[in-house]
């Protein structure tokens, strides 16, 4: 399954800080993004410490963050940036797709997680999805998170409407969670359900409140645990 390519329109360019300790990768990412309409690269950094400093100095909309770097790793840098600069998005872009990296990065506040085998259009889509409060995840990462739930003590046998009823989820809130489990963005969910993006966000906010979670990632994982969302939907392809 490939990350869906979604077209977004912004009043102004999305400003991006690119962070990677490999000079060739840093140059390639910067060159690619600078040639994309609607994206402005405002800076580049080769380690986490420099990334935090430049995030403060340049105030980009989004930081594209490598994780394994000298001086300060990307997870610690992500935590500092999201804590000190609320509202600034950080999307991890790394070679590693193991739980040792994925979970700490998301807990540190990353708005998305991509592995470096992502196609250029997938990276571009992820930046725009993160800016629209979606959660871009590489398919291998979604598969990993789903498998972690399946291996846990709360692994569901299948889709459970009774669990959804017990926590008070309305039918449309359930539908939003299930589409989220398939990796759809808010815009794509709105199209599938013939409602506005605002309504999708409202249903998701209500679902988060009823599930006792803070964000869409936690809602997705909780949905896996309760059997409301099938991990099989998220790991196809």
Residue 186, SS3 per DSSP: helix
**Domain 146-234: CATH architecture, name and number where available:** Orthogonal Bundle (1.10)
Residue-level pLDDT, tens digit, the chain, 237 residues: 344 434 444 457 999 999 999 999 999 999 999 999 899 999 999 999 999 999 999 999 999 999 999 889 999 999 999 999 988 999 999 888 777 788 888 888 888 888 888 888 889 988 988 888 777 776 666 666 656 655 554 444 444 556 666 788 888 998 888 888 777 778 888 899 999 988 998 998 899 888 887 777 778 777 877 777 765 433 333
Q: Which residues neighbour 218 within 8 Å (Cβ) at sequence distance 6 or greater? A: 208, 211
- Residue 45: CB atoms within 10 Å: 24
Rg (alpha carbons) of the chain, rounded to whole number: 18
Please say whether the beta carbons of 144 and 98 come within 8 A. Answer: yes
CA 195/CA 179 separation, integer angstroms: 13
How is the chain split into domains, by residue range?
14-136, 146-234
CA 198/CA 112 separation, integer angstroms: 21
Residue 53's H or E segment, with its range, is helix 48-58
What CATH code would you report for 14-136?
Answer: 3.40.50.2300
Cβ-count burial of 211 within 10 angstroms (0-12 exposed, 13-18 middle, 19+ buried)? buried
């Amino acid at each position: 399954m490939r990350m869906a390519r979604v077209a977004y329109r912004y009043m102004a360019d999305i400003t991006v800080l690119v962070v990677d300790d490999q000079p060739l990768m840093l140059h390639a990412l910067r060159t690619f993004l600078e040639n994309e309409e609607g994206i402005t690269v405002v800076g580049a950094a080769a380690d986490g410490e420099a990334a935090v400093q430049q995030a403060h100095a340049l105030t980009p909309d989004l930081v594209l963050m490598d994780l394994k770097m000298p001086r300060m790793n990307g997870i610690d840098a992500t935590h500092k940036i999201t804590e000190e600069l609320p509202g600034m998005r950080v999307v991890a872009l790394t070679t590693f797709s193991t739980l040792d990296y994925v979970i700490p990065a998301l807990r540190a506040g990353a708005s998305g997680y991509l592995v470096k085998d992502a196609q250029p259009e997938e990276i571009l889509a992820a930046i725009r999805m993160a800016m629209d409060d979606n959660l871009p995840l590489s398919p291998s990462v979604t598969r990993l998170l789903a498998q972690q739930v399946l291996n846990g003590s709360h692994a569901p046998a299948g889709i459970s409407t009774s669990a959804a009823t017990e926590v008070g989820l309305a039918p449309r809130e359930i539908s939003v969670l299930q589409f989220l489990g398939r990796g759809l963005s808010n815009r794509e969910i709105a199209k599938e359900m013939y409602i506005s993006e605002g309504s999708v966000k409202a249903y998701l906010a209500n679902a988060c409140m009823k599930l006792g979670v803070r964000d869409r990632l936690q809602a997705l994982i909780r949905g896996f645990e309760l059997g409301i969302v099938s991990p099989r939907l998220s790991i196809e392809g």
